[in-house]
Amino acid sequence: MLSPFLGVYGPPPVTLVSGQGCRVTDDRGRTYLDFTAGIAVTALGHGAPEVENAVRSALDSGLIHTSNLYRTLPAERLARALIEHSFPGGVFFCNSGGEANEAALKFARRYAGTVHGPGRSGFLAFRGSFHGRLFGTVAATDRPAYREPFLPVMPGVRFADFDLDAVGAVLDEGETAAVILEPVQGEGGVRPVDPAFLQGLRARCDATGTLLILDEVQCGLGRTGRLFAHQHAGVTPDILTLAKPLAGGLPMGAVIATPAVDATLKAGDHGTTFGGGPLVSTVALAVLERVADPAFLAEVARKGQRLADGLDRLVDGHAAVRGRRGLGLMQGLALSEGSLAAPVVQRAREAGLLVVSAGPDVVRLLPPLVVDDADIDEAVGILDTVLSSGGDPS
Ligand SMILES: *Cc1c(COP(=O)(O)O)cnc(C)c1O
């Protein structure tokens, strides 16, 4: 049968019809342990009572959407809660990670243009980065294949290695408005940034009047065992972007920026029709209250260690696995030279475990944050079997 979809995705391997907790079921009645969580989105699992109750309570008001012409209480409560949990400033709501980063880039240009004068419009991004598919965010994404068919994209982005000397060489005080990076790279292969590097980068940004934008679209909101991944390094960004898990599976993004950035923004500088609607905001507040709970975060950290320990045993036991990287419940298995992730992902699925690749040779594990120890052990066991049975997975 001809697909009704435009051809930007590969052929989907299964049709999912239902889900509960960390499991999803396909149209043939087969159940899978879901260690993708919709790419780090359904942090509270499928059918989460907090999410369902929040949806119901939001529906009771009759207001699903109002636009940003009017104030609504759910958006205001959520914005206040986000600031309380992060740093003083203001919040802009949108509908996706790409939109959040696109807004962050615009806000940074507005700030730099206002504070430093014209010309300071460039950005510094990093090797392996992924910030989205829009013309600005794809320009800051280090995947030439995502960019080249669509040139010209936003000009002015330079890329650096994770090395302060390299940053010093490309960060131009006359040109660079902001530095943008993920504290833990997701699509780029599950790579936590060295906390000392992040601290050094913060100092370099302060010394040069450059804004620091942290993209926590994937690693934020509890995934690493802290509410925000940058808290592991003890640095605060000027602009923080969030999205994937924010509204429990409903589309939502957020940008948090300092009062100094906010002071340069004027009514009309940016906007969105849907962003921050009362339905998604109600759900996001319920998600935030759950994931910001210190006991919840401590459990994420503990379970992340259990998963990491299990994966480390796979590194020791299989020649096809080169190493493990990650933080909390964001983990990756880097395969050995010549081994590809796609066949491992496929065989895991056939064995009842959903995982996702991160680049050509990294198998990424992003379970719901409510995953339990038995699920973790089962997932590691399935991967052990899959890696044993496949020989060279390429
Ligand atoms: C997924 C992702 C994005 C893009 O988010 P979309 O909602 O797909 O637009 C941006 N940055 C990071 C780090 C991501 O993981």
What digits encode the pLDDT tens for the residues 282-303? 999 999 999 999 999 999 999 9
Cα 218 to averaged position of ligand 1 atoms, centre (Å) = 7
d(CA 147, CA 144) in angstroms, rounded, equals: 5
Mutation test of ligand 1: which of 240, 244, 280, 330 has the most ligand atoms closer than 8 Å to its C-beta? 244
The protein residue with its alpha carbon nearest to ligand 1, atom 9, reads: 98
Q: Closest Cα partner for 385 from 354, 347, 335, 341?
A: 347
Q: Which residues are within 8 A (CB) of 204 and not within 5 positions of it... i.e. 6 or more apart?
A: 164, 167, 168, 171, 210
d(CA 274, CA 68) in angstroms, rounded, equals: 8
Query: Which ligand 1 atom sits nearest the alpha carbon of residue 97?
Result: 5
Asked if residues 276 and 65 have their Cβ atoms less than 8 Å apart, the reply is no
Query: Which ligand 1 atom sits nearest the alpha carbon of residue 215?
Result: 13
| Mean pLDDT along residues 25-33 | 98
Cα 174 to averaged position of ligand 1 atoms, centre (Å) = 29
Query: Which ligand 1 atom sits nearest the alpha carbon of residue 98?
Result: 9
Mutation test of ligand 1: which of 36, 218, 255 has the most ligand atoms closer than 8 Å to its C-beta? 218
Q: Say if residue 394's pLDDT is above 60.
A: no
The protein residue with its alpha carbon nearest to ligand 1, atom 10, reads: 131
Looking at residue 12, what is its pLDDT?
87
pTM to 2 decimal places: 0.98
Q: Say if residue 160's pLDDT is above 70.
A: yes
Q: Determine what percent of the chain is predicted with pLDDT higher than 70.
A: 99
Asked if residues 210 and 176 have their Cβ atoms less than 8 Å apart, the reply is yes
Looking at residue 358, what is its pLDDT?
98
Looking at residue 208, what is its pLDDT?
96
The protein residue with its alpha carbon nearest to ligand 1, atom 15, reads: 218
DSSP character string of 151-191: -S--S-EEEE-S-HHHHHHH--TTTEEEEEE-SEESTTTSE
Q: Out of 6-15, 39-48, 108-117, 267-276, which region has the weakest mean confidence (pLDDT)?
A: 6-15
Strands (E), the chain: 16-20, 23-26, 31-34, 90-94, 122-126, 157-160, 176-181, 184-185, 191-192, 211-215, 239-242, 253-257, 321-327, 330-335, 353-354, 356-357, 362-365
Catalytic sites, residue numbers: 130, 215, 244
Q: Would you state the structure tokens that stand for residue 314, as one six-digit string? A: 């796979």
- Phi then psi for 339, rounded to 5 degrees? -100, 140
Cα 98 to averaged position of ligand 1 atoms, centre (Å) = 5
Q: What is the pLDDT of residues 103-141, one digit of tens each?
A: 999 999 999 999 999 999 999 999 999 999 999 999 999
- Report residues whose beta carbon is within 6 angstroms of any ligand 1 atom: 96-98, 101, 130-132, 182, 186-187, 215, 217-218, 243-244
Q: Would you state the structure tokens that stand for residue 45, as one six-digit string? A: 């699992």
Q: Determine what percent of the chain is predicted with pLDDT higher than 90.
A: 96
Q: What is the pLDDT of residues 322-364, one digit of tens each?
A: 999 999 999 999 999 989 999 999 999 999 999 999 999 999 9
Looking at residue 389, what is its pLDDT?
85
| Mean pLDDT along residues 261-271 | 98
Query: Which ligand 1 atom sits nearest the alpha carbon of residue 244?
Result: 7
Bond into 152 cis (ω within 30): yes
Mutation test of ligand 1: which of 102, 180, 187 has the most ligand atoms closer than 8 Å to its C-beta? 187
Asked if residues 240 and 205 have their Cβ atoms less than 8 Å apart, the reply is no
